[in-house]
Amino acid sequence: MTMAAACPGCAAAPLAIEHAKIHAAPALVLSLPGIHCAACIGKVERKLNALPEVNDARVNLSLKQVSVQGNDIDADSIVAELKSVGYDAYPLDLAYLETRQDSVGRNLLIRLAVAGFAMMNVMLFSVAIWSGASDTTRDLFHLISATISLPAVLYCGQPFFSSAWTALRVRGLNMDVPISLAILLATAMSLYEVMNGGKHAYFDAALSLTFFLLIGRYLDHHTRSSVRSAAKELAALEVHTAQRLEDGKAVKTAVSSLAVGDRVLIPSGVRVPVDGTLDSLNALSDRSFLTGESAAISLTMGEIVQAGEINLGAPFEMTATAVGNDTTLRRVATLVEMAENSRNSYTNLADRAARIYAPAVHLLAFVAFVMWVWIDGDIRHALNVAVAVLIITCPCALGLAVPAVATAAIGRLYSMGFLVKSGTALERLAEVDIAIFDKTGTLTLTGRAANLDHLSATHTSIARALTQASDHPVSRGLLAALPSGPIADLTDISESPGNGMQGIFQRQAVRLGRGPWLGANFSSVGLRVGLEDAIALPLHEVPRKGVKTALDGLRALGIPTRMLSGDTQDAVNALARRLGVDDVQAQISATGKHDYLMELQQQGSHVLMVGDGLNDTASLAAAHASVAPSTALDASRNAADVVLLRENLDDFPTLIRIARATSRLSKQNFAIAAGYNAIAIPIALLGYATPLLAAIAMSASSITVIANAMRVRFVK
């Protein structure tokens, strides 16, 4: 008896059902920062797939993630299993990733695949026709090609058609108008040939044209979205449940329900859900997601804890100070996206050129059509030339010239610990010719204070009240050194920029700050209560890691360095000699810093200002370009163009080198785009370029521009 062959769909049905069962199971997505090769993938997948509760585990090396499907999966047990084979794993928010997934990129890829599949099939019929098929056979193959091509072109060309229609609807033009016109003309011309029994049809050319245009569009989108994907990955590190302390008991609750002032328990190995201050005596935290520093950070009571950190020590308690969109994690992700979407003078120049191109391209194509009809009277050939001109003159490469470089540069700098906030920052950083640094908190870090046992209980409580009201590095250093105890009830607390903190205690003025401001005869920080003599509170100050390398590197780039500080002349001179800085200004006020900087800029200098304090804010805002460390006050970080996320300064010269490379590569991309048009347009006008060759040439120019832009990733 003859057995009937199973249809492919029926044979595949059981496999599809099993696949659906696997992927319908709950999914757990973990970040695996330690994987780097195929061996890592095999090791992780074998370990997880051997677990009875896991149905399927797949590693994505490019995203450094593993997706685990199964029933009753316990995230902690999966993390422990991966730890046992040498890989640290951190849970990601799958719901967040799904809501922020790249639907535009996915749609472009789907349309690209459909165009490629249809193009290959139509080309098979074209080969048969070129091989000698004629008459009825040729007409049949043309009809089949039309049946495949028309729906494919209409579907795959939607990104261009919808953009063109949006422009035309408001009586405008953009680069997608000539592209759409070229695709539709090539298709309509082929359909006309088929309906009239013509010997030639160009459906393969129309599909190839669409295919190569989609390649260029996808590369454009992928390049522009690379920084956003980094921000999305960062924001996905947020946790969504927390243990809120209510009447001394830990109650599991949604992070979205936490409010400022809530006290939260952070168990060992768990990410911090919100920003806050540490209530426990000490804690050990991993802040590498933000700073890139792998070493654990020791925290003491009263210090800041940020959302996304991992508790590496014993459980600790904290009080929430920022929740939701106000957390450090959310703000960083938002700033990265703002930088990617920002514009600079090069971008605006490219946009203006593109706006001029659109009407010029249509006029040029019309002139080419009329010229060739007049030359040889062949309307079909004239249309071919006009379509080729429409495609080959599309300013895609020009539109990509700057965004491709800027996006690659911003992504590279973010991975190095530089958060670029402004779209014009790199352009301005490339022009700086002098660098001014603040001292305390910028070139130096404030260590612990010397022995403070000489303070009375009252003085200690007043000092704690004043220091905890300030984010200045000196205040943080003192707060960490002061013994724990009650906090004085002060009123009218305020900060005097560059001097210190002041308030009222039991109708007495109290001050904590620089000795001269207190009327004391010492230069260090001190405390004064009422009319009593000021009490010295000496602090140890140490240079930041890599500061000597940074300053030497800037000088090697031709950028002289100067130091401005409100500290005493002796303290400033001592650090200047150690770092090799010749030009210093000591005991200078916030106004003095600003005036000094403005005078330099009025003389034609392009000043880079690097500072962290309230007294640096005006200078940061007025400078040609500015950088603030992540430990700076909020006002200083907001005023700065770039935020330095790491404590180490040794990569600082690379920031300037990348900025200069960004400017140089942007100009090179403009030259590439202009050179391409100077060569390609005459070739198209002379009739030597078919629509297909024009599409390939246009895509090649876009790919060349992107490849040139990627060179910024290798700047050292």
How far apart are the C-alpha atoms of 371 and 174, rounded to whole Å?
A: 25
- Give the bridge partners for 90, in sequence order: 31
Cβ atoms within 10 Å, residue 359: 12
Which run of H or of E encompasses 711?
A: none
**Residue the block writes with tokens 């990129």:** 105
681 contact partners, CB below 8 Å, separation of at least 6: 364, 389, 392, 393
Strands 434-438 and 444-449, bridge-based pairing: unpaired
* DSSP-derived secondary structure letter, 615: G
Helix (H) or strand (E) holding 336: helix 328-341
Q: How far apart are CA 481 and CA 484, in angstroms?
A: 9
> Residue 283 — left, alpha, or beta (φ > 0 → left; ψ -120 to 50 → alpha)?
beta
Which residues, other chains included, contact 263 with Cβ-Cβ below 8 Å and sequence gap of 6+? 244, 245, 279, 317, 318, 319, 320
Instruction: Report yes or no: 518 and 526 within 8 Å, Cβ to Cβ.
Output: yes
Q: Which two tokens stand for residue 50?
A: 């051997």
Show the tokens assigned to 146: 């039309």
3 state SS of 634: helix
Residue 438: active-site member: yes
In 169-287, at which residue ranges do the beta strands (DSSP E only) sit? 241-246, 249-254, 263-266, 275-278, 282-286
Q: Is 18 exposed, middle or buried (0-12, 13-18, 19+ CB in 10 A)?
A: exposed
Read off the tokens for 476. Answer: 């943080």
- Type of residue numbered 188: A
Catalytic residue among 220, 438, 567, 616: 438
For residue 520, give both structure tokens.
């004391």
Interatomic CA distance for residues 668 and 360, integer angstroms: 24
Give CA angle at 680 (678, 681), nearest 5°: 75
Instruction: Find, among 436, 426, 443, 428, the residue nearest to 595 by Cα.
Output: 436
Rounded CA-CA distance 448/256 in Å is: 36
CA angle (329 as vertex; 327, 330 as ends), nearest 5: 70
Report the distance separating Cα 618 and Cα 351, nearest Å.
33
Known catalytic residues?
438
